[in-house]
């Protein structure tokens, strides 16, 4: 799903970003490749990839450039949300088979939505919107009459302020403001309806009709595992050629180095297996048009948290093993670690809430049958 040419481009861009050089080339490269259209319906000009292929693409891209995998994952699930909105909104977003960038704005700093005769008037501010600086459309979380909702807004009507951080460089983060923007009623949907099953979906692929809550939560796991695998690969490449400054010893021959690498290899394998388990379960739900059952929900929650933690711990072990060299910004392993630390802190992978859901299931306690998010995730 990711071409060899794009992987070469991502590796080169990752090197530029690692050195602290500003580049605006990452988002255009992904757009030109059609990476943001992976989950866009084929009838609307997209690639309509199978869920496992989408996860594989995020994983592969993140192994070269963490920000790229994260962007594909975030904008990909946003395309699915738009495909679940009224047809009038879809036709505006995807005219003549276009492939726009759709950003998602999580919980607002402040927002207000007021109903009007024609639709709604939207005011608000959302910080750290991933891909916001280059987006064509923004899905913004808000509330209407006290109930969570999502508003689809053309990016050209929003005020954008660059918010590029030292993590996930090149991802086009922006602070976004809406001042009295008027939107049609078809461009606002309740959060509960957006994530719920859509039996009347106009799209044949059941991806756009099944309950999307757990898919939305797990959609970024592939990027995390891919980034950890990229860090592992870079560590091995460096260590194979590394000669110590004192004594001129070959570092690869140190027993401690070998043991730590073996630990990381084993834990990465576990993370990959859990990712594959989640991917297969979610694909089965799509194919059969059903909700995950109680055991599957518990396992999906467990995997979200555990894969994130193991991906972070594996990479941190490698950085620590490299000593002072591991702290250099020019070190690709350090670059992967910083991005993975930011990714693993994502709301969907929060340890306590996910593991609590698992514990309730194991103890026979009642859990929510469909834990739909009450807003889009902040910061992607």
Q: CATH 1.20.140.10 in the chain, residues? A: 213-362
Superfamily of domain 4-98: Acyl-CoA dehydrogenase/oxidase, N-terminal domain (1.10.540.10)
- Model confidence pLDDT, tens digit, residues 232-263: 999 999 999 999 877 788 999 999 999 999 99
CB 90 within 8 Å of CB 83: yes
- For residue 323, what pLDDT is reported? 92
- Model confidence pLDDT, tens digit, residues 20-37: 666 688 999 999 999 999
Burial of 341 (0-12, 13-18, 19+ CB in 10 A): middle
Q: CATH 1.10.540.10 in the chain, residues? A: 4-98
Does residue 200 or residue 341 have the better pLDDT? Answer: 341
Tokens representing residue 1 in the block = 């799903």
Average pLDDT over residues 302-325: 95
- For residue 369, what pLDDT is reported? 52
Among 2-16, 183-197, 210-224, 309-323, where is mean pLDDT lowest?
A: 2-16
Tokens representing residue 191 in the block = 């959060």
Which CATH architecture describes the domain 102-190? Beta Barrel (2.40)
CATH topology of domain 213-362: Butyryl-CoA Dehydrogenase, subunit A; domain 3 (1.20.140)
Average pLDDT of the chain to the nearest whole number? 92
Burial of 356 (0-12, 13-18, 19+ CB in 10 A): middle
Q: Which residues pair with 162 in a beta bridge?
A: 174
195: Cβ–Cβ under 8 A, 6 or more apart, which residues? 211, 212, 213, 216, 370, 372, 373
- Model confidence pLDDT, tens digit, residues 207-231: 999 999 999 999 999 999 999 999 9
- Model confidence pLDDT, tens digit, residues 327-378: 888 899 999 999 999 999 999 999 999 999 899 989 998 766 555 676 787 6
Q: Rounded distance, CA 345 to CA 207, Å?
A: 27
CB 313 within 8 Å of CB 215: no
Q: Can you give the pTM of this predicted structure?
A: 0.94
Average pLDDT over residues 166-184: 92
Q: CATH 2.40.110.10 in the chain, residues? A: 102-190
Kindly give the interhelix angle for 66-82 and 26-33, rounded to the nearest 10 degrees.
Answer: 50
């Amino acid at each position: 799903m990711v071409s060899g040419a794009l992987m070469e481009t991502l590796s080169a861009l990752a090197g530029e970003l690692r050195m602290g050089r500003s580049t605006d080339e990452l988002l255009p490269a992904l757009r030109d490749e059609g990476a943001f259209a992976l989950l866009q319906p084929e009838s609307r000009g997209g690639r309509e990839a199978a869920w496992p292929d989408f996860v594989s693409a995020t994983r592969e891209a993140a192994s070269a450039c963490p920000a790229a995998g994260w962007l594909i994952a975030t904008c990909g699930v946003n395309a699915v949300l738009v495909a679940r909105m009224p047809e009038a909104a879809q036709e505006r977003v995807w005219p003549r088979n276009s492939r726009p960038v759709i950003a998602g704005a999580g919980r607002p700093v402040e927002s207000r939505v007021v109903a009007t005769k024609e639709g709604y008037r939207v005011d608000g501010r959302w910080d750290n919107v991933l891909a916001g600086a280059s987006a064509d459309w923004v899905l913004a979380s808000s509330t209407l009459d006290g109930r969570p909702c999502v508003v689809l807004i053309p990016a050209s009507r929003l005020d954008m302020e660059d918010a590029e951080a030292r993590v996930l460089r090149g991802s086009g983060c922006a602070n976004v403001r809406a001042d009295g923007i008027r939107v049609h009623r078809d461009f606002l949907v309740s959060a509960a309806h957006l994530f719920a099953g859509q039996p009347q979906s106009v799209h044949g692929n059941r991806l756009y009709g099944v309950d999307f809550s757990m898919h939305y939560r797990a959609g970024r796991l592939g990027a995390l595992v891919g980034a950890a695998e990229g860090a592992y690969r870079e560590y091995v490449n460096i260590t194979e050629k590394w000669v110590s400054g004192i004594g001129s010893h070959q570092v690869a021959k140190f027993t401690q180095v070998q043991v730590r690498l073996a630990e990381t290899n084993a834990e990465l394998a576990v993370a990959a297996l859990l990712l594959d388990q989640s991917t297969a379960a979610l694909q089965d739900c799509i194919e059969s048009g059903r909700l995950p059952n109680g055991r599957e929900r518990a396992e999906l929650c467990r995997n979200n948290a555990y894969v994130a933690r193991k991906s972070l711990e594996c990479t941190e072990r490698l950085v620590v093993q490299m000593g002072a060299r591991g702290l250099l910004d020019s070190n690709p392993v350090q670059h992967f670690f910083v991005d993975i630390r930011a990714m693993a802190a994502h709301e969907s992978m929060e340890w306590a809430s996910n593991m609590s859901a698992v514990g309730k299931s194991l103890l026979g306690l009642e859990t929510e049958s469909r834990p739909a998010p009450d807003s889009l995730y902040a910061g992607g």
